Chains A and B, each alone.
Chain A
Amino acid sequence: MPQKVIYIPRINDSPADFAELFRIWDKVNDYFEDVKFDFSQCRFLRPNAVAFLGGLARLIESRIGTAVFDWNTLHDAAVMTNLSQNGFAGYFGHTSSCWAGNSIPYREDKVRDVNGIMDYLEIYWLGQGWVQVSPRLRDAIVGHVWEIYNNAFEHSGSEIGVFSCGQHFPGYNELLLSVVDFGQGIPAKVRNFLSSDPRAEQLTAAGCLRWAFQRGTTTKPKEEPGGLGLDLLKEFVQVNQGKLEVYSNEGYALIDKDGELFTNITTSFEGTVFHIILRCDENLYRFADEKNGNIPF
């Protein structure tokens, strides 16, 4: 099969940018693909694109294909610096090694490495002294963000694992993290779980995401308790005035301080992206139980 050249454009993190990533996925979503990623048109690359493209390369390789990032085509110094700093370039054949900076390292987890992921969140994402965060808030954040990873490993069925990358925005005290898997996607999982109810076929992808974010719903077997992880994450993001976006199959969810939005998108992919921005301002943060009083134990 002739080599496909995929030109990586400038990619930010708006819905249109995610659609661009999903179009790239669609171009190489097959077995025996021989793909070269060309950076000559790339002037900007957000962490969501880094995590997605890294995972996509592993997806191609898992399907008996080849994926090469052509570093000779990367002429933009800022992008090169970013990809070297976050370790992505080193993962994919460049001789550079990562160093500390505003980028939070690119990370691949083929299997669930609990302490590795938690250390990554605690040390590389939160613990570099660039956000003002108390130990209490730090522990609350990493515990809630763990729900994203747990969800991916428990439910996605991604055979190549989970891919992450993040960024710190100096001056805003904000942290961004993108977590990507190439599993079946939340809508597909929900529809499969509800398959005994013929009306479930009418659920759109947006409806399935709405279902998944409801308290108490889970696609796990009846004897296994669950159905709280996404609900707790949603609540945490809203309390923090942060922002959570989820792209999964042809569904999109936006959770922020103004509420929640579930909608369908036209350009989709097989898998799930969690894209989260958290504010680390201690003054904004209120623990939910402090609002509601103590629990009786």
Chain B
Amino acid sequence: MEIIIKDVIGPRCIIKEDGQKIYKKIHEPLTKAETVTLDFDGVAQFASPFFNFAIGQLLKDVEEKDLRRLLRIENLNETGKLVVERVIENAARYHGDVDYRKIVDDILEQQAKESE
């Protein structure tokens, strides 16, 4: 499967609703181990909500190594590469299970230090 992103979304990939559109198209093929190509030619602007939904969500059902093998991303500019890589790293690390108790612990410890 190949998707020309500009034809489906336009030149701005920045909102979650557009990310969800792409996710719906590629989720099933990827879970069936089919190769998917996303071509970003002509797309210039990127933000995290788009990639969180288009690709971050995939990590719930597809292993990171499989995603990197099956999903081909072409003609993505530097900003897009930065955002998508961060999204994958984030989603793969946490799988939605961020250790919020530890983060609260760390911040409370920091607060205590600052008040000394």
Footprint of B on A, CB under 8 Å? 114-115, 118, 135-136, 139-140, 142-144, 146-147, 150, 154, 194, 197, 199-200, 202-204, 206-207, 210-211, 214-218, 222-229, 231-232, 287-290, 294-297
Contact = CB atoms under 8 A, between A and B. Distances in A.
A143 B78 contact: no
A225 B91 contact: yes
Nearest to B96: A222
Contacts of B68: 296-297
Contact of B85 (A150, A154, A227, A289): A289
B47 A229 contact: yes
A147 B48 contact: yes
B45 A150 contact: no
Contact of A207 (B46, B48, B90, B110): B110
Interface string B32-51: 00000000000011111100
B22 interface: no
Contacts of B91: 225
B30 interface: no
Interface of B: 12, 14-15, 44-49, 52-53, 56-57, 68, 71-73, 76-79, 81-87, 90-91, 93-94, 96, 98, 100-101, 103-105, 107-108, 110-111
Nearest to B91: A225
B1 to A, nearest CB: 16
A139 B45 contact: yes
Contacts of B76: 297
Main secondary structure of the interface of B (DSSP, over half): helix
A115 to B, nearest CB: 7
Contacts of A222: 96
Chain A, interface SS category: helix
Contacts of A197: 100-101, 104
Contacts of B85: 289, 295
Contacts of B78: 136, 140, 287, 289-290
B25 to A, nearest CB: 17
Given A204-B111, A287-B79, A296-B68, A228 B104 contact: no
Contacts of A287: 78-79, 82
B104 A135 contact: no
Given A203-B108, A226-B52, A232-B48, A136 B77 contact: yes
Nearest 7 CB-CB pairings of A with B:
A225-B56, A225-B52, A228-B48, A287-B78, A295-B85, A140-B79, A139-B44
26 contacts: A118-B12, A139-B45, A140-B79, A143-B14, A143-B45, A144-B47, A146-B47, A147-B48, A200-B104, A203-B107, A206-B111, A216-B90, A216-B93, A216-B98, A218-B98, A225-B52, A287-B78, A287-B82, A289-B81, A289-B82, A295-B81, A295-B85, A296-B68, A297-B73, A297-B76, A297-B81
Contacts of A211: 103-104, 107
